[in-house]
Amino acid sequence: MTQPLTRPPRKNPLARTRQPTRPPQIRSRRALGLTAAAALGRFELQVCQDCQAVQYPPREVCRQCLSERLRWLPVNPRGRLLAVTTLHHSNDLYFRERLPWRIGTVQMAAGPAVVAHVHGDCKEADIVRLALKLDRSGQAVMIALPDEATPNMEDDKTLRETACDPKFRRVLVTDGKTPLGMATIRALLDAQASMVFAGDPDVWRRSAEFDALCEDERVLPQDMNITDTDSVERISRSIGGKVDILINTADYQRDGGVLFSHGMNTAREAMEVNCMGLMRLAQHFGPGMFGRAADGVNNAVAWVNVLSIYAHVNLPARGLWSASQAAALSVAQCLRQEFMQAGVRVINVFPGPLDHEWEQLTPPPRVAPGAVAAAIVRALQEGTEDVYVGDVAKEFLDRWRANPKGLEREL
């Protein structure tokens, strides 16, 4: 059984912070299909469309019939663990810092035999479940997990290296006063976050629910407005060295397209919050998180952006807001590449219409803030990169992949 993770002691302020290291990241272009599946929390391998043979490792043509018709499809992730080896030496710096490390060979029920990282609760001859996870370099790796959940399973060091579990970590929620922000804070506390910094952009606006939430000693309100550079800089100097996970829940949503919107105020405000605010956060909190990516057990691990499915496709009724979401997505993609050098994961959350005041006239189904908060915590625990929440978001994703031009016309 995995030993439960204990709360680490306070860091010695005089102790040197290790430089972040990454595992080997060279992959073939075909192998990036594994990365695409891992980013969405799926388990997919190449399947030949002529003979149905499952392929691993990824390749250009089928290993049996040499067909080029290979598609990435979900396959049975279960198999038998044939052999396990524990490494006590490695020439790679990343693994040398994390020894001992378990690897093993798994004979999949779907056909191929694979070499995978092995969870500590798995033994030889066990039936295991393979999972595709993203490692610190942003590439897909396979991990053999127990077929049935075991006590403290998520505390295994191998699994924790590929996840961003908020357990015993300190989290900043940039706008904790909104329904989504408060739901996120509650979900983080339930996930055993040691401390949640709750941003409050409108100190003058009282909220009994937010005040009650802040009575918990683990919740520390912060007078922070991401449209004010001085405010962001002041808070970053105060708590920036403590933030392990940053969750940006700030949003400015208004109706209106481009053609008949006289003036630029709505566009300016939307960009100021959704795009420029994200850039301010990145410039003031990002370098500190980058430098603390290898800072002991509770290092800086994740940056979460709560966007919208309309970041992918513009909704003309809210065209200016959709444009600001698309701009924020572009910034987030830049952050993902920059943070990848340190191994800090950037997670983008794309919900459908939220059940809040600016969606009152939107017909169901709408997404409850609690559902988005649960999806955020689940993404952190599982280490996924892109999360689509709600029926509308998932349907739009499928339609966008199948016929993006048709979806554009229907909106």
Share of the chain above pLDDT 90, in %: 68
Distance CA 374, CA 191 (A): 10
- Could you tell me the strand order of the sheet in which 54-55 lies? 54-55, 44-48, 70-74
Phi, psi dihedrals of residue 138, rounded to the nearest 5°: 85, 10
pLDDT tens by residue, 43-100: 999 999 999 999 999 999 999 999 999 999 999 999 999 999 999 998 888 888 888 9
Residue of 284, 188, 195 whose CA lies nearest to 8: 195
pLDDT tens by residue, 175-206: 999 999 999 999 999 999 999 999 999 888 88
Fold of the domain spanning 170-410: Rossmann fold (3.40.50)
Q: Residue 254: its pLDDT value, please?
A: 87
Ranges of each domain in the chain: 32-161, 170-410
Phi, psi dihedrals of residue 323, rounded to the nearest 5°: -65, -40
Q: How large is the average pLDDT for residues 100-115?
A: 94
Residue of 278, 299, 386 whose CA lies nearest to 98: 299
pTM: 0.92
